[in-house]
Structure 1
Amino acid sequence: MSKVKLGFSFLLTLLFVGMFSVVAFAAGSNPVGTPPGDPADMKGGLVTDDSAKDNNYDTVRKSNANKTGSGVGGQNSDFNNVIKSDDMVKNADGTHGTQRTHGSYMNNTNSCASCHQTHTGASKNLLFKDGEYATCTACHDGTLGFYNVFTGSNSAGTFGGTHDGNMSVHLANGTVELKAAPGGNSTGTGNWEAEFTCASCHAPHGSYSDRLLHENPNDMGNTLVSKGGKLLENVPVVTDITAKNAAADVTYKDATGADVTINYVLYRFDIGTTVDAAYSAKGLTTGDTVLQLMKWNGTKYVNDTDPWLHGYEFDENHVKHYWTAFKDSTGKEVFDTDQLKKGEILGNGFAGVPASKTALVSSVKSLTSGNVARGYVVKLDVSAPNANNVTTTTASSLWASKKADGSTNPGYVANRGVAMSTFCSACHTDYLAGSGKETGTFDHAYRHTTTSDSYTCVRCHYAHGTDVTVMRDARGLTYQNILDDTTNYFPGVTGEARTSIVKDYLLDKNPSSALKRYTNMAVCWGCHTSSHSEGTRNTDTYQYNSTPGIDSDRNGIEFDY
């Protein structure tokens, strides 16, 4: 995994809100400075010594030939002694390179041993550490050169932090269940009983998104659209897209009780002489058959590119039923997304079959309807890897904004922020909303807009956690920015006194589990100092510049794009 720069949207307890803060657990029995739910030997979020729970390879317990877990975890880890997949054959010309740990595995891979022990795992799923949280943080605590989730950054924030204040974490160690998510389903139905762990948000074996963000968070990819998910049921198969009208095929009531209708079709056709790039990239060509999911956008049908999920369940007769499956006129499932060996070719939002696979083509041409479970896709602005294969992400690329000088965010890409908010709302269901009316699946309330790239969740919230050193004031200035600005912030104060006063300046006076990127109500003031400015304009008294009446001296979030 590599570096992330995420955050969150407006209002105190908006979408990717932390499950609980350390402050909220102050009355618990854990030692001071220990995240709630962790064993006593995990201090400040860092594993100091949990070797008793490992099955490491050493001179006494030779339990794993790959030495999985040996030298991993704790602050004394030796990167050079840890089993890795360096120098495995990578290219046809015989050149070598380092394999990926999470996904895109090579056919001579040794990457499985990075996390699993075949016969001697310390926990379920054969993980070499005791649980998902401990397994992930064994490498991602900074000791092995990988992305360090405990280091404060302007990306995803931090697990643990400095404990100097504002301590709030997405408690991903399995202590709480998904139903603890503010704005989520408190009734415990569906998948809400699942433990909240690192794998609740990240897919360790690869995903369609950057930062390994999960393609099916909280199983919402396989939950009906009418219940807030992305599963489409009984979508009709059509062969003439121009003859299909815009009558809605999916109808449900929103949180206000109003009828909502959306229209999807599965368009089946044979590729003509012109081959779309998406199909040719998968090896399809003229004469091959395609089944493409399409959505009516109010004017025409456009391709839906959400990837199809391939999971399955068993019924009471132990018959396997795939989440994404297609039926003939009798209602029989005759085609699903686990037929790769039969010649099916899957792309984003479509399946294709080469004309040479005549039996499979015949099955596809008998289809009349289908169910489609769709994955979540979140794309970020990620840099190229450095020497340690660590990358960084620019959080501000997810939202449309302007600096005080009027310049726009050059890295902004339309709809990425909304995709991030949609991902967060897989658990924080009620918080995906527009302003101006009561909304919510599980409770109704007026909410801040999160369905816009201007106010996406990550603009105001972190994903991993906060502490006083990573939070910002209304100008978007961090602890280090303020510490260095001896002209406008606490001039004449130096040394330890300055460190203390800057931390106190950023200390949240109403700490919570909200994972706020900005301290106190600076989370509101940072934007609303210029929004509706006639009523919220700063007076001369509170300008940072001594020259009164200068608009550029007003507050307003500044970002390093």
Structure 2
Amino acid sequence: MKGKIKVLCLLILALLILGSNAYAAQLLTGDTYAPTVKKVYDEQRGMVSKFNADDKTYYPNEIYLPNEANPANYRIHTNYSKNTDACAACHATHTAVGQTLLQWGTVYDTCMACHDGTISTTYDVQMGTIATTQKPTYGGMFGSGNEDSLSNHLVTGAVQIFAAPGGNVTGNYETNDTPDKAGATAWDITFGCESCHSPHGLGGNARILNPNVNAYSYLNYKSNVAYVYNSATGYYENSQKYQWVRSYPYNKGTQVWVNGQLKTEGVDYLLDGTSGETRIKLLQGNGSVTVVYAYFYPALQVKMEVKNYLQSGESVQHTSGINQFCGACHTDYNTDTGDIDTSTGSSDKLTGHYTEAYRHQVGFKVDEFKAFLPLTNMVYEKRSNGDVMTCLTCHYAHGVSKEFWKRTLLDSTKAAVYGYWSEVGENGLKELAGSSALKRAPNMGTCETCHRKGPAAEGYNANTGQSVSVTATTYESQTGATAVGSGKCQSCHPKYYTGWSKTAHFDNGVGCEACHGNGSLHVKAPNSRNITNPATKNVEGKVDTCGTANCHGKGATKRTEIYDFGGVSESIIYYSEAMSQVQEFKESKHYSKGGVYCSTCHNPHGMIADKNGIEKQLKYLPNALCGSCHDTGAAFDWATFMPKVARSDGSDQALHSFTAFESEMPGLR
């Protein structure tokens, strides 16, 4: 017995030593709609932060960020020098976990590795704050999923772009063939952070807004466009002042022809986009040819003035393009005709390319309402020919919640805003209409700010001798909801539904409502308050979602401590019967110290296949999955740490306590 105990002690010591390199910086959340983990567990130092703004990187425990102490002086998404190190912050050349060589499993996970507040020197888009200032961002907040009156752009990859209100729901999607992209298709594209933002700053747009949003550049590919020499500037220019989208993956389609011959960039000509438009300079005979012809992808341009970047006094003033940008997806909602002086009458006549309706006009002068806009933090676009209403006049780009309204509308440092909203108070900042719809104020507060029907209706109570109040019916919780079946989820969440239909959950009749609760109220008024989202629960709650008596928690567990080392946290545990997967997992350090939960590794909505076509219900292939947190090395084999064990239902399933010495315990095959 003593000999066995010595062997076990040595094994435990070896694991502790080997574990000192565990938990590299890229700890996956597993749920693409959940906040990322801000701390990781190190055997020697305990829970440590994934980021410290001290210009030092402690691999493997810390995210790498160039010039991390002052990122304002190093725009990681746009400042590419010839010896740039920016790529390494997101990509791994030979050991990537995600597609396109990402160090995280998805684009959303990659973005949130920094922008969920982990990197304290940049924008926290989850909470909607500017770095450490705690001042609200211009774009609003995405939230964690459990905030009151929360609405946001669902950038987790759960929906396709065609789900955008005012978009193409017909299924007849626009396509175009270009030299770089055969059959480029709009609309049927997964919606995520990259849909609105270009992480590499292509096109030079402010706020790295995507110049090819919803395949705009692919669908509007320009051919044989004349560029005429301008002797004053020394460049060939076009009056439309196009900015080209170029570099990979737009290389083949970017062409310049001189006298009927295709020329080579860097050898025959140079392109210059520093002025906000792309211009051409020939390296031989510049100006001797009157006209050159170009083929290129035009950028959907958005311009703005950003002052006091990342400071508490940061301000943003849009100057052009935001209505067209939003309209790339919300097409029918964009009633901007370009004529800012004349009302289009869009509220009195049917408009729309995909669906007809009466719609509020945008793109007209706000002079009549301009004095009232600051009362609700409403904004406008300052064009060269006047100030106009935009989509962002009434809406935030990312999202809102009651908490965000409280920070922005009850901000005592802004006298005009506070004076207008203080009478409403915090209790009045509650959405009653079902969805807060990314609005700058609850309910129809943005409408009232400009249209001012309240002051115009003064005297009603006095003249009628009545006191009129409002009662509203809404769906604020899941209470009273009934089951509707998984088929109802498909129309809004087709990607998740299709993935789920390939899983063991589907095969065993475990539907959407088994994890998300009854969905009848959510179907009637979709919002985060009337549906259960396991991702918003704490670690224990997430694991318990999987560990119900009828699912992965079934099976008896008899736990006996057979040896206590005394003063040492490790002890030897004996299980006299096959235990449930969930209880077994709860005994592991992954759960007790690492903050890991079931869907960190498992994908409840899909399968992944290896090169032999064998499918597993995991987020990524096993070795890559382990490698996303641990420095595993080339010789690593996940099966060593997760051998098969007998379960109470008679099946053999992988061990979920992740400890090699337990392979000697009873019940293991």
TM-score by length of 2: 0.48
Distance 2:396 2:169 in 1: 23
Distance 2:262 2:267 in 1: 15
Change (3 A) 1:382 1:490: closer
CA RMSD of the aligned region, Å? 4.3
**Could you tell me how far apart the structure 2 residues matched to 1:374 and 1:71 are?**
46
The within-5 A match list for 1:129-278 is 129-145=104-120, 146-152=122-128, 153=136, 155-160=138-143, 163-188=146-171, 189=173, 190-207=185-202, 208-224=204-220, 231-233=221-223, 235=225, 237=226, 266=227, 268-269=228-229, 271=231, 275=232
Question: Does structure 1 residue 394 correspond to structure 2 residue 305?
Answer: no
Partner of 1:373: 297
CA distance in 1, matches of 2:412, 2:68: 42
Q: State the 1:458 CA deviation.
A: 0.7
Counterpart position of 1:19: none
Q: Which residue of 2 aligns with 1:306?
A: 242
| 1:537 paired to 2:520 | no
Q: Is the 8 A contact 2:39 2:49 kept in 1?
A: no
| In structure 2, distance between residues paired with 1:450 and 1:487 | 28
Kindly indicate whether residue 284 of structure 2 is the aligned counterpart of residue 357 of structure 1.
yes
Give deviations 1:179-221, integer Å, cap 9, x for gaps: 1111112244223222111111111112412211112211213
**1:284-315, CA deviations, whole angstroms, 9 ceiling, x for partnerless residues?**
4xxxxx43212xxxxxxxxx33312237889x
The answer on whether the counterparts of 2:410 and 2:421 sit within 8 Å (CA) in structure 1 is no
Which residue of the other structure, out of 462, 465, 469, is the alignment partner of 2:399? 465
Q: Is the 8 A contact 2:409 2:421 kept in 1?
A: no
Deviation at 1:113, TM superposition (A): 0.9
Q: What is the aligned partner in structure 2 of residue 111 from structure 1? A: 86
Alignment map for 1:28-177 (pairs within 5 Å): 45-48=34-37, 77-80=51-54, 81=58, 82=62, 83-86=64-67, 99-145=74-120, 146-152=122-128, 153=136, 155-160=138-143, 163-177=146-160
Q: How far apart, CA to CA, are the structure 2 residues paired with 1:99 and 1:460?
A: 32
Q: Which residue number in structure 2 is paired with residue 292 of structure 1? A: 237
- Return closer, same or farther for 1:269/1:84 CA change in 2, 3 Å cut-off: closer
Q: CA deviation at 1:451?
A: 2.2
Q: Report the CA distance between 1:502 and its aligned residue.
A: 4.0
Structure 1 match to 2:351: 439
Distance 1:72 1:103, change over 3 A: farther
SS of aligned partner of 2:166: coil
Deviations 1:341-387 (A, max 9, x none): 43323334443324x514x877x6575x655532123233322345x
Which deviates the most, 426-435 or 171-180? 426-435
Q: Is the 8 A contact 1:177 1:196 kept in 2?
A: yes
What are structure 2's unaligned runs of at least 5 residues?
1-27, 129-135, 174-184, 337-343, 365-380, 382-387, 463-669
1:165 CA displacement? 1.9
Q: Note if contact 1:154-1:470 (Cα within 8 Å) is conserved in structure 2.
A: no
49 and 351 in structure 1: CA distance in 2 versus 1, 3 angstrom threshold: closer
**Residues 122 and 130 of structure 1 are in contact (CA less than 8 Å); yes or no, is this contact kept in structure 2?**
yes
State the one-letter code of the partner of 1:221. S
Partner SS, residue 507 of structure 1: coil
Residue in 2 aligned with 1:35? none
Deviation of 1:504 after TM superposition, in Å, equals 3.2
Instruction: Report deviation, 1:478.
Output: 1.2
Deviation at 1:445, TM superposition (A): 2.2
User: Secondary structure of 2:307's match?
Assistant: coil
Measured in 1, the distance between the counterparts of 2:246 and 2:413 equals 49
- TM-superposed CA distance for 1:222, in Å, is 3.1
Q: Of the two structures, which has the highest relative contact order with CA contacts closer than 8 Å and spacing of 6 or more?
A: 1
Matches within 5 A, 1:307-322: 307-310=243-246, 321-322=252-253
Q: Percent of counterpart pairs with the same letter? A: 28
Opposite residue 182 of structure 1, the aligned amino acid is: P
1:29 corresponding residue in structure 2: none
